[in-house]
Amino acid sequence: MGFDFVIVGGGVYGMATAYHLARLGAESVAVLERDEPAAGASGGLGQRGVRANRRDLRELPLMREANRVWPTLHEELGGETGYARTGGTYLIEGPASTGFKGIDAAETYARMQTAQGVPTELWDRERVRSVYPGISDDVQGASFVPTDGVASHERTTLSYAGAARRLGAQILHGTGAASLLTASDGRVTGVLTDGGDTITARREVILLANGGARQLVADATGVELPIWTIYPLASQLRTSTAARIPMLTGHETRPLSVKTLGNDVMLSGGWRGRATPNGPEVVAERLEGNIAVLQRIFPYLHDLEVVAADASRAESASVDQIPIIGRYAPHLFVAAGWSGHGWAIAPVVSRLIAEDVLLGSPSPLLAPFSPQRFR
């Protein structure tokens, strides 16, 4: 079996890149997914934040583009994304002990974000209290980005898959890549599947397998990607009082990321799940620790009941906390190391990857994420 482009990984990046390749005219595209579409970080509980606020500055040009795409993406794909532009805050308890944080640094961050096309407001204590009645007195301010929001990761990923399929891409689920095939000159020529089949890539293998990329690249090229696997812990919490958290909410110095799901609270961003020989697991003390951080900031949420908790969705983190996007060998394009914030930029990064591999036009927006930075 052979295709022009063989994508490994059926998360949002694999599906969206297949969609863009097909939309740009590629006639022979396959996505190999070991499990089922959205089985990894692009699926599971709750929603994902579409956040520019306090992102690494190198990612802000991508977010500016992504903010143009998200509101109408459901129309483009002919499928749901669950996107909602709620606005988003980063709460500040300053001054902080590190020079990068605190109320003193907030104005500079806001100015830099605004200059990068992400209009940012600074809120004082009173403004924060008017939006978040009952919030802890420790919170002294917030940085607010009106264009931030949330999306349904699973629905969006499946909508990309549907759109890619309608344009002719093949999605082969239950098909894992055991190793990459290489020619004697180092060119990557295809994939050997878990079942022992050979799938030839006439033009390029595009490795979008998140943490699964590391072993495949190491085996084929001898290069160890500077990434590792993490298991973010997401929980859905129920309260008998109103949550009073009207938008995507993060915190500058506490590990806290909050969204609301109807009347429930979705909490992530704190202590993670634990890897065990039987797979990742939720550790009760870590979950309690995360809830304690939430209750410290929102003290009126004292009666939280855990409806669901999940740490099974593996994500890859990179050594400098920004993704690695580029070629590791001739005909081998890799993107991984999203470091917990790969969701929001996916619609733009996937398009730029497709343009690079199909048209040979690398985007300057992806230059900061090149593997060259480690060499």
209 counts as binding ligand FAD under rule CB under 6 A:
yes
Which x/- pattern over 105-144 shows residues binding ligand FAD (rule: CB under 6 A)? ----------------------------------------
Q: How far is the CB of 140 from ligand FAD (least distance, A)?
A: 24
The three-class DSSP label of residue 312 is: coil
CA gap 116, 280 in Å, rounded: 38
Q: Which of 214, 313, 331, 351 binds ligand FAD (CB under 6 A)?
A: 313
8 Å CB contact between 340 and 268? no
Q: Looking only at residues 27 through 46 of this chain, which bind ligand FAD when binding is defined by CB under 6 A?
A: 32-35, 39-42
- Structure token pair of residue 211: 């943490």
Closest to 79 in 3D by CA, of 158, 22, 13, 12:
158
Distance from chain centroid for Cα 322: 11
Assign residue 77 a region: left if phi > 0, alpha if psi is -120 to 50, beta otherwise?
A: alpha
8 Å CB contact between 342 and 227? no
Q: Looking only at residues 250 through 269 of this chain, which bind ligand FAD when binding is defined by CB under 6 A?
A: 268
Q: Which stretch binds ligand FAD (CB under 6 A): 76-84, 159-167, 208-216, 359-367?
A: 208-216
8 Å CB contact between 193 and 178? yes
151 counts as binding ligand FAD under rule CB under 6 A:
no
Closest to 136 in 3D by CA, of 327, 294, 368, 313:
294
249 counts as binding ligand FAD under rule CB under 6 A:
no
Residue nearest to ligand FAD (CB): 11
H-only helix segments in 150-255: 153-166, 213-221
Q: Toward ligand FAD, which CB reaches closer, 65 or 315?
A: 315
The three-class DSSP label of residue 365 is: helix
Q: Toward ligand FAD, which CB reaches closer, 102 or 269?
A: 269
Q: Toward ligand FAD, which CB reaches closer, 102 or 325?
A: 325
8 Å CB contact between 210 and 40? yes
CA atoms in the 13 A half-sphere facing the CB of 217: 27
11 counts as binding ligand FAD under rule CB under 6 A:
yes
Q: How far is the CB of 69 from ligand FAD (least distance, A)?
A: 14
Q: Toward ligand FAD, which CB reaches closer, 102 or 270?
A: 270
8 counts as binding ligand FAD under rule CB under 6 A:
yes
61 counts as binding ligand FAD under rule CB under 6 A:
no
352 counts as binding ligand FAD under rule CB under 6 A:
no
CA gap 352, 108 in Å, rounded: 30
**Which residue's structure tokens are 């020619």?**
183
Q: How far is the CB of 155 from ligand FAD (least distance, A)?
A: 13
Q: Which amino acid is at 217?
A: V
Q: How far is the CB of 372 from ligand FAD (least distance, A)?
A: 21
Q: Which stretch binds ligand FAD (CB under 6 A): 163-171, 300-308, 338-346, 360-368?
A: 338-346
**Which residue's structure tokens are 């483009």?**
76
Q: How far is the CB of 153 from ligand FAD (least distance, A)?
A: 6
Rule CB under 6 A: which residues touch ligand FAD? 8-14, 32-35, 39-42, 48-49, 51, 153, 176-177, 208-210, 212, 232, 234, 268, 313, 315, 338, 340-344
